[in-house]
Amino acid sequence: MHTDRGQTLLAIARAAIAEQLGVPAPSFNAAQWLEEPGATFVTLTCAGALRGCIGSLVAHRPLRADVESNAFAAAFSDPRFAPLSAREYRELEVEVSLLSPMQPFTVESETHALTLLRPGIDGMLLEYGRQRGTFLPQVWEQLPEPRAFLTHLKQKAGLPADFWAQEVRLSRYTVTKWRESEFVTS
């Protein structure tokens, strides 16, 4: 069941990008579960390098609409990259991550947070005033050590690497993710 859902979500993401580029889009079956609220991130890579990643942290619209919107934004509106071209589309790999609800991550200090982090499992949202940053659990693949993970997350939020204050708010979440290459048959 999860595999079928993953293939459907990947097809929805790719179709949203293909439609904008005017190239043939994959088909998918509409299903009732796609109308339930869902929060997703869509990550795009070309030749193994990040090409776009946009998502929602909270389920605020139907799952299908969330995937379509985030896929479009990852391809054409990620401020780190130029809009995706039709040439790049052919080399694109799509990954969809379905987020669990956010759970408050109450800690007494940064050291306490480091002891409670679950490498490879936790996605993390860090907030301090108007500063905010998140890392999907997949980021543990590049930053497997909790201190490095948290340091880079603070920097992503626009804070100094050595920053900590009692007002820092942390929330964690997990994801179920699907990557197109997982479904390629030889």
Q: Which of helix, strand or coil describes residue 48? A: coil
What's the predicted TM-score (pTM) here?
Answer: 0.91
Planar angle of CA 28, 33, 73, nearest 5 degrees: 65
Pair (153, 120) in one structural domain: yes
Q: What percent of the chain has pLDDT over 70?
A: 97
Tokens of 70: 């985030």
Pairing of strands 169-173, 131-135: unpaired
Looking at residue 185, its pLDDT comes to 55
Pair (58, 124) in one structural domain: no
Residue 80 has pLDDT above 70, yes or no: yes
Pair (85, 109) in one structural domain: no
Backbone φ and ψ for 68, nearest 5 degrees, come out as -60, -50
Pair (119, 83) in one structural domain: no
Cβ contact 80:28 at 8 Å: no
Q: Which of 99, 133, 158 is the endpoint of a domain? A: 99
Residue 3 has pLDDT above 80, yes or no: no
- Domain containing 85 equals 2-99
Pair (116, 146) in one structural domain: yes
Q: Which of 73, 99, 125 is the endpoint of a domain? A: 99
Pair (6, 82) in one structural domain: yes
Compute the distance between CA of residue 71 and CA of residue 51 in angstroms, rounded to an integer.
11
Pair (7, 95) in one structural domain: yes
Looking at residue 28, its pLDDT comes to 87
Pair (54, 136) in one structural domain: no
Q: How many domains does the chain have?
A: 2
Confidence of residue 183 (pLDDT cuts 50, 70, 90): confident
